[in-house]
Amino acid sequence: MCGNNMSVPLLAEAVVSGTEKETAAVIFLHGLGDSGHGWADTLTEIQLPYVKFICPHAPQIPVTLNMKATMPAWFDLMGLSPDSPEDEAGIKRAAESIKAIIEHEAKNGIPPHRIILGGFSQGGALALYTALTSQHQLAGVVALSCWLPLHKTFPSASNASKNLPILQCHGEMDFMIPCQFGAMTAEKLKSIVDKSMINFKTYPGLSHCSSPQVQ
């Protein structure tokens, strides 16, 4: 790898795998309370030639939903319903941190149209928001068991191309982020990007977790 990772705070500690001649990248964001390590291990199972996998760690912050306990979180969570108050400043700040990774990779030879942004739960939510507000056309978004943050500000907040491919995957037995929320997100996304770009897949019996089916 080339370039100075220290200039991009999240990259300094991120789990990064790949070869010396990467021409594409996957940036994958973990869920609340997790770290990049678990997803890095999962993604290495599907390691592809010339693809760099970047799994950054969220900062440690107090989370309102968990009685202000400090834990890895991309932004504060006040609730898990579509009408819950949202940490607008925190969401936008987190998105800028991910955009800084995209800019870093672009400066070092991987163009944005060769970068996929993905994530699980809160990480998937941030991936969606970041891709839709990015000035770049990304290769696509993989959004697992999540929702669209600040959904009421869209589609006007979007800078994304209408041709941004989005794959959503959601467990039908997810009681933390109900599958209905995923379906509502998919409908909202159809007002932001071309409907043919949205692929919403559900998995019977799957709770708020990943599985080999999804991978």
Catalytic entry in 97, 104, 121, 170:
121
Please give the torsion angle defined by the CA atoms of residues 178, 183, 184 and 188, in that order, rounded to the nearest 10 degrees. Answer: 140
Active site residue 208: yes
Could you tell me if 25 and 52 are in contact, meaning their C-beta atoms sit under 8 angstroms apart?
A: yes
Q: Is 84 a catalytic residue?
A: no
Catalytic residue selected from 87, 97, 174, 210? 174
- In degrees, to the nearest 5, what angle opens at C-alpha 157 toward C-alphas 153 and 163? 120
In the DSSP assignment, the letter for residue 209 is: S
Query: Is 151 known to be catalytic?
Result: no
β pairing state of 51-55 and 140-144: unpaired
Burial state string for 63-72 with b = 16 or more CB within 10 A and e = fewer than 16? beeeeeeeeb
Which tokens belong to 30?
Answer: 């973990």
Name the residues annotated as catalytic: 121, 174, 208
